[in-house]
Structure 1
């Protein structure tokens, strides 16, 4: 299909906004992006995230459609990252799940749940049960600390802040016009009118609450720690009945540890209780964290819809709202981008049906723009 250049305004330069800006500009479209903050994305939930790509691990708390979106992302992320001029840390060494002996009953329940979810989404690689010997081989630094564990092959992670910075570089390279410290709303634009964009894509997360009243914030607190005495080769999750947590190792012995989940849009600093629980759990996984240095205690609110599932809706011709990524932003972002491109290209999306993704389109949608949508089997 020949490309018919269109003009786009994107509201919100978080993860979704930047990814869509790059993909659309790469296809030859004129793109303006507006954000209330700076290129550092200080207002975005993506800045605080651990950026784990763990569909089977997350299946314990979400629906099969989101899990399929996560599986889709494991294939798409290497393609998206490979097209960037600036390198981004990416790892696909699986997820390790461990528990202490006193939490064995909770671990058994969790294992049964993952096994059931795997039957529902059979394209996921099979999880593997590890005894103490196999666990020591998979993660030598945890030898003799845990008697059992689970290994989830194929799952991955990336460096969220490296990616956000690399997307800014790519936007500049592709001549995306970025308007920092310039909040805007869809009402500021009349799509299709002379001098106005053909499309407005609203990716503002909680910033769009005035337009999408069902949105709510789910607070999360994350610690970033530099711990030279800790060596973990892959994201590790601790099963615990009160405070399950994860440790995501990044480059240069830096670790992201999280995350609490509180039904609140309060963005005040992390509480003493949450911090103690996170750090105590990390120390219980590896005592080397005791000598680590706390680089940051970060708090952010994830944009969440009532069913905890993402959605895309068209509120008027030429205006699409993409929101509700909840705690799965990095895991499902490639799927959300690909569905959006399909909608822009054809006025509908077969991918959304595969993902059980709610896409609400007005019958008076503008004609397809010629946006290139990826082809998938």
Structure 2
């Protein structure tokens, strides 16, 4: 951290804001956090998510630097969750990818892409091709339903809503001053002056459009269902040309099913067509979803920059901004957390360079560490 205790105002109490608040408060700093919504995170993209930690699987849609962030974050999640008073569901049983015979060509292309990624990021575990017998052994619930698949070992997932609640409780325990239902802007503060916080950390996501002019929303839709007849042991992805989906099993036969990625910041409820395609695809993976009970169908928009990559920047003195986590929030958040903590400690971040993450600083590195 900084060389002596100081004060922080964190704007945005989504995933990044809460992780930073807890880390800084534990280090002895005074922390105030502001959010447009309440402790449940109802305005945050972090609330509507699968919570999957799948760097190799996500390499199909992102850069190698993000893959390295995801690999780094898997180990850090175990450490971070171990410090929380409230338990958070976490598993690291890998990711299963399956497809129907008519989509075998798409699956073959995906397999080649994942193999190429591992050549560039060799610390990733090797993908395991599965024939029908091995697939039945790995995931008995899908025995006889698919002729082949792929297992990506070591990938994980967590329960995003349990985590948000556990972080909110931890902030309360550590004495973080929470300003729920109170919007804030960096312009509201004069950091480093008398009576003001020493630093402002802006983690507002789409709420920061006034300062990130190229920021856009990418809509996602997920269904949470209770399916007592389904016993999937790990996140499962279906290769499909029109609606590839993921199914993330949580505790007590609750499943989060997601698929859609739409270039819009529309936050209206899911359409009938989207809901039908989402649930029909889940049923195509396992017929037990036919009798599942729909707990919720939710939509949210992920904050996304033009290159679909995360960004950290210091454009004005003592105001550090983190944004652009796109669809990879849970997968990369611990990596970005440690980058920010390095910057606040020393004014530099070797981790950022290892992730090919450019930190945009208009100020000197001495200002960061001051």
TM-score range, shorter chain: over 0.9
SS at match of 1:248: strand
Cα distance between partner residues in 1 of 2:65 and 2:173:
35
Number of the residue aligned with 1:87: 87
SS at match of 2:68: helix
Deviation at 1:211, TM superposition (A): 1.2
Number of the residue aligned with 2:35: 35
Number of the residue aligned with 2:51: 51
Number of the residue aligned with 1:23: 23
Contact 2:318 2:367 in 1 (8 A): no
Cα distance between partner residues in 1 of 2:364 and 2:200:
15
Cα distance between partner residues in 2 of 1:331 and 1:2:
26
Contact 2:316 2:363 in 1 (8 A): no
Number of the residue aligned with 1:373: none
Cα distance between partner residues in 1 of 2:221 and 2:363:
41
Deviation at 1:277, TM superposition (A): 1.0
Contact 1:317 1:365 in 2 (8 A): no
Cα distance between partner residues in 2 of 1:57 and 1:177:
38
SS at match of 2:328: helix
1:59-107 per-position Cα deviation (integer Å, ceiling 9, x unaligned): 0000000000000011100000001111100000000000000100110
- Give the TM-score, by structure 1 length: 0.97
SS at match of 1:103: helix
Deviation at 1:365, TM superposition (A): 5.4
Cα distance between partner residues in 2 of 1:89 and 1:284:
26
Map of 1:103-182 to 2, 5 A cutoff?
A: 103-182=103-182
Instruction: Pick closer, same or farther for the CA change 1:2–1:325 going to 2, 3 Å.
Output: closer
1:96-126 per-position Cα deviation (integer Å, ceiling 9, x unaligned): 0000001001100110110011111100000
Q: Runs in 1 of length 4+ with deviation above 3 angstroms?
A: 364-370
Number of the residue aligned with 2:64: 64
Deviation at 1:273, TM superposition (A): 1.4
Cα distance between partner residues in 2 of 1:368 and 1:82:
30
Cα distance between partner residues in 2 of 1:190 and 1:354:
33
Cα distance between partner residues in 1 of 2:102 and 2:142:
17
Instruction: Pick closer, same or farther for the CA change 1:3–1:174 going to 2, 3 Å.
Output: farther
Number of the residue aligned with 2:194: 194
Number of the residue aligned with 1:286: 286
Unmatched segments (≥5 aa) in structure 1: 371-377
Cα distance between partner residues in 2 of 1:286 and 1:2:
52
Cα distance between partner residues in 1 of 2:2 and 2:29:
13
Deviation at 1:259, TM superposition (A): 2.2
Cα distance between partner residues in 1 of 2:30 and 2:366:
17
Number of the residue aligned with 1:345: 345
Cα distance between partner residues in 1 of 2:339 and 2:331:
14
1:289-341 per-position Cα deviation (integer Å, ceiling 9, x unaligned): 00001100000000000000000011210001100000000000000000000
Cα distance between partner residues in 1 of 2:209 and 2:294:
33
Unmatched segments (≥5 aa) in structure 2: none
Deviation at 1:348, TM superposition (A): 1.4
Cα distance between partner residues in 1 of 2:315 and 2:283:
48
Deviation at 1:20, TM superposition (A): 0.2
Deviation at 1:37, TM superposition (A): 0.3
1:10-50 per-position Cα deviation (integer Å, ceiling 9, x unaligned): 00000000000000000000000000000010000000000
Contact 2:343 2:369 in 1 (8 A): no
